[in-house]
Amino acid sequence: MTRRLSLSVAIERWPIAGSFTISRGSKTEAMVVVAELGDGKARGRGECVPYARYGETVEGVAAAIEALRPRLEAGLDRSGLQAALPPGAARNALDCAFWDLEAKATGRSAAELAGLPPLKPLVTAYTISIGAPEEMARAAEREAQRPLLKVKLGRDGDPARIAAVRRAAPGATLIVDANEGWDERHLEANLAACAEAGVTLVEQPLPDGRDGALARIARPIAVCADESAHARDSLAALTGRYDAVNVKLDKAGGLTEALAMAAEAERLGLKLMVGCMVATSLSMAPAVLVAQRADVVDLDGPLLLARDRPEPLHYAGSRVDPPSPALWG
């Protein structure tokens, strides 16, 4: 029997503790879109973060979700959703709402529905925003007890920044995210500076579409695709240029595609990173499922907020526990 679903859509603003700064700019709040699906007995939620880098806006994403209301009311299911919307934030919110609804309706966890073993706690990276070297050093010193720090770079003077962070946090494992901020002229020098600082991975050093130089140099440390990696069909072209891929549900268009991307990345011999946007625990919860198989986990979004939603993920330092059914899944 066709299941006819009700839909609600909301735009929410969540203040960031201080500010969050990458090579493309700063923000002081996270704007998210939440989709909720109901079948008359149970309700499921999904949260997404529209990504301006890909031309998304909160209004546009909310409108794209709202436009599917007639088809949801007529019986559109999670399988049909994959063709109804392209990869991106709108499909992510609805896809995750479908998973949550099914979990609530059946009394089975989303992990069980996905065929996964029981979820385990994870160790997540914690992000250090880009700034002057002395500012970044102070931020790193405050978080030096964490086992894994993600350092935002992508501007002139990055060798001084990463050296300052390393001095401030000598015991932490460091990864770097340049957010497409480097160019070919400085690529090898910046990678060398990262290697000297003991960095283990660099995300997206060059702009998407202008990253061919990565195939022509000897990469001293692993390089991970982020903005160059979208859904499954983007992964094959990454081989030879990248060593790893960052799977984010907002890019992939939901948990369904993210699980498939993770499997395809492994098939291609790419290491797996699971990342996030700055958002609440509701965005992170589905990503915890994908992150069970990841080499690097970066799900610190709620730690960067001034407050989180009720029944949040439990963070103990850098350890994050699986979500409770009250939150999602």
Supply the CATH number for residue 97's domain: 3.30.390.10
Verify that 150 and 38 share a domain, yes or no: no
161 Cβ partners below 8 Å, 6+ apart?
Answer: 130, 133, 136, 151, 153
Verify that 162 and 102 share a domain, yes or no: no
Verify that 34 and 137 share a domain, yes or no: no
Flag whether 301 is in a domain. yes
Verify that 103 and 152 share a domain, yes or no: no
Which of 54, 82, 113 represents a domain boundary (last residue)?
113
Which of 113, 148, 170 represents a domain boundary (last residue)?
113
Verify that 207 and 285 share a domain, yes or no: yes
Verify that 63 and 132 share a domain, yes or no: no
pLDDT exceeding 70 applies to what percent of the chain? 99
Q: Structure pTM?
A: 0.95
Q: Specify the pLDDT at position 2.
A: 65
Reported residue count of the chain is 329
Of 4-8, 39-43, 179-183, 230-234, minimum mean pLDDT range: 230-234
Averaged pLDDT score across all residues of the chain: 96
Verify that 24 and 61 share a domain, yes or no: yes
Q: What would the mean pLDDT of 271-283 be, rounded to a whole number?
A: 97
Count up the domains in the chain and report the number.
Answer: 2
pLDDT bracket for residue 115 (50, 70, 90):
very high
Verify that 135 and 51 share a domain, yes or no: no
Verify that 65 and 164 share a domain, yes or no: no
pLDDT bracket for residue 27 (50, 70, 90):
confident
Verify that 190 and 138 share a domain, yes or no: yes
Q: Specify the pLDDT at position 21.
A: 74
The whole domain housing 186 covers 122-320
Instruction: Give tens-digit pLDDT for 141-158.
Output: 999 999 999 999 999 999
Q: Specify the pLDDT at position 38.
A: 98
Verify that 101 and 211 share a domain, yes or no: no
**Angle of CA points 19, 25, 26, to nearest 5°:** 15
Q: What would the mean pLDDT of 248-264 be, rounded to a whole number?
A: 98
Verify that 177 and 250 share a domain, yes or no: yes
Token pair, residue 72, equals: 């949801």
Instruction: Give tens-digit pLDDT for 303-329.
Output: 999 999 999 999 999 999 999 999 999
Q: Specify the pLDDT at position 23.
A: 63
327 Cβ partners below 8 Å, 6+ apart?
Answer: 281, 282, 285, 309, 311, 312, 313
CB 264 within 8 A of CB 235: yes
List the catalytic residues.
152, 248
Flag whether 79 is in a domain. yes
Instruction: Give tens-digit pLDDT for 224-251.
Output: 999 999 889 999 999 999 999 999 999 9
Q: Specify the pLDDT at position 288.
A: 98
